[in-house]
Amino acid sequence: MRTFPIFVSFDGRPPLVVGGGELAAIKTRLLLKRAPVVEVAAMELVPELAKLAEAGQVARLTPQPGIDQVRGRPLVIAATEDDAEDTRVSAMARALGVPVNVPDRPELCTFVLPAIVDRGEVTVAIGTATAAPVLAQRLRAWLERELHPRLDALAKLAGEFRGRVAERVPSGPPRRRFWEAVFEGAAAEAMLEGDEPKARALIDEAIEKATGEGASQGRVLLVGAGPGDPELLTMKAVRALKSADVIFYDRLVGDGVLDHARREAELVPVGKAKGAHSVPQSEINALLVARAKAGQTVVRLKGGDPFIFGRGGEELDALRAEGIAIEIVPGVTAGIAAAASLQIPLTHRDVSHSVTFVSGHEASGQEPGFEYLDLAALAAGKNTLIVYMGVTTASAVAQKLLEAGFRTGLPVLAVENASRDTERRVATTIAALAAHPESLGLKSPAVLIFGEVAGLPASGVVEDILASEEVKRAYG
């Protein structure tokens, strides 16, 4: 059964449980967590139900309820444990359009009961349709441990302040930001620790601050999305995505990363495929500035790390010039992710003492001259060179390095789509790459790692990925 989660109100008519046995008692107890009264239609009541009836929480109806007892109910649970009677009640409820559940009989149900974590004002309902109730129960146990027992008190306190905040703090992004700061900050912490006076004082203070000067301006977070695998996002990046009103993202941002955005957030793609149309950098800068000035929390989401070939510096300059609040959230850059996937250390005692990140493209789209690099020193020293944006220029880059004195047998590893499902790894040597431009068969995005450390992966890894027989011999 495919289902959609909702929370049902019991204001109006009480829910109906048909049956008076143990199973009916379990379901009644569950409904009483929210319903002031549950009506139970049964000939006899087990002691638990009888006690609830005495206490006024259960109202007794005659057994075998008819149309008049079922019509207009928020929901009905048929738990008579008598197959014919449960089937009858289910058919009647469905005919009347009343949601009905029969425990362990999915074919007779129009709704399922979720596993529930109850923190008073805060309720978490876990559904796995009917496929995996055990999984739902395990999740529930985990959430029970994770969700603070005083969460209810915190929610109630927030409820108390709600009116005042609505009066003082403008609606939309400023107000959402206000509440985020309360729930993530010292006020919530104080409340959960049981220090209510401190929590109240902190919220008062936050209200003053939110209505003070400059409070209406938003901010921009430059966030590294990592190489693609959402698990390589930092916790800060996830928090930034959840707080964003608008997210301007690059093409290289992996699927699954944007799933962390709020449902209401505006998602705006801004390029950048090499050679393909994309929003010009100056326009991106202007968009970031305008949205922050309008009071929004703006996330500029970039593949890898924002400050490695990400033009993060230019955006930073533009934002600083306008006096906009900025936060930087670093990300796992592609070269680091590639090394992790290949299990090669980028620095290694005796083998490599430094790492150099370079671009395989000039800004003009040409292959690089590397005039700014002391290639001879890199060739002589123990260095690892990681080339970004080098797919189309890989062979020319290898040629240039050979001319500068890199040894011909130097191992080279390339990783395409590092950390994604489509990841591909190829091994070659610098001489083979210079001689056979197509030998790696690479597609963008990919990084190339030149250096002795590229000869270090576990032998099984290299065997599988050697570009050619010739390279295999050279790898030795």
What is the residue type of 299? Answer: V
Residue from 14, 174, 218, 227 touching ligand SAH (CB under 6 A): that is 227
What 3-state DSSP class applies to 326? strand
What is the pattern of x (binds ligand SAH, CB under 6 A) and - over residues 96-115?
--------------------
Q: Is 305 a catalytic residue?
A: no
Say whether residue 465 binds ligand SAH (CB under 6 A).
Answer: no
Nearer to ligand SAH, 247 or 447 (CB): 447
Cβ contact 463:422 at 8 Å = no
Rule CB under 6 A: say whether 333 interacts with ligand SAH: yes
Q: Which of 272, 302, 305, 400 is catalytic?
A: 272
**Where does this chain touch ligand SAH (CB under 6 A) — which range of 10-18, 139-147, 187-195, 444-452?**
444-452
What's the count of helices (H) and strands (E) in the chain, helices before strands? 18, 17
230 binds ligand SAH (CB under 6 A): no
Q: How deeply is 72 buried, as exposed, middle or buried, from its count of CB atoms within 10 A (0-12, 13-18, 19+)?
A: exposed
For 190-213, letters b (16+ CB in 10 Å) and e give bbeeeeeeebbebbeebbeebbee
Contact 310, 319 (CB under 8 A): no
339 binds ligand SAH (CB under 6 A): no
CB of 309 to ligand SAH, least distance (A): 4
CB of 392 to ligand SAH, least distance (A): 10
Do the bridges between strand 446-450 and strand 411-416 make them parallel or antiparallel, or are there none, so unpaired?
A: antiparallel
> Cβ(69)–Cβ(59) under 8 Å?
no
User: What mask of x and - would describe binding to ligand SAH in positions 285 to 324, judged by CB under 6 A?
Assistant: -----------------xxxx--xxx--------------
Residue 203 in tokens:
């919220």
Task: Find the catalytic residue in 86, 229, 245, 250.
Answer: 250
Q: Does 252 bind ligand SAH (CB under 6 A)?
A: yes
Q: Minimal CA–CA distance to 80: which of 23, 38, 16?
A: 23
Residue 388 touching ligand SAH (CB under 6 A): yes
Name the residue nearer to ligand SAH (CB basis): 14 or 310.
310
Round to whole Å and give the CA distance between 73 and 268.
Answer: 45
| 80 versus 417: smaller Cβ distance to ligand SAH | 417
* Nearest-CB residue for ligand SAH: 304
Residue 442 binds to ligand SAH (criterion: CB under 6 A): no
Q: Which amino acid is at 346?
A: L
Tell me the one-letter amino acid at 117. Answer: V
Q: Pick between residue 114 and residue 303 the one whose CB is nearest to ligand SAH.
A: 303
Tell whether the torsion through CA atoms of 198, 199, 203 and 209 is positive or negative.
Answer: positive
Does residue 393 interact with ligand SAH by CB under 6 A? no
Handedness of CA 404, 407, 409, 410 (dihedral sign): negative
Site string for ligand SAH, 399-428 (x = CB under 6 A): ----------------x-xxxx--------
Closest CA to 338 of 411, 418, 218, 421: 418
14 vs 445 by CB, closer to ligand SAH: 445
221 binds ligand SAH (CB under 6 A): no
* Position 292, amino acid: A
Q: Does 271 bind ligand SAH (CB under 6 A)?
A: no
Smallest distance, ligand SAH to C-beta of residue 127, A: 34
Run of H or E including 203: helix 196-210
Q: Can you give 44-103 as a three-state secondary structure string?
A: CCCHHHHHHHHCCCEEEECCCCCHHHHCCCCCEEECCCCHHHHHHHHHHHHHHCCCEECC
Is 421 an annotated catalytic residue? no
Catalogue the active-site residues. Answer: 250, 272
Which residues contribute to the site for ligand SAH (CB under 6 A)?
A: 227-228, 252, 302-305, 308-310, 333-334, 338, 388-389, 415, 417-420, 444-447
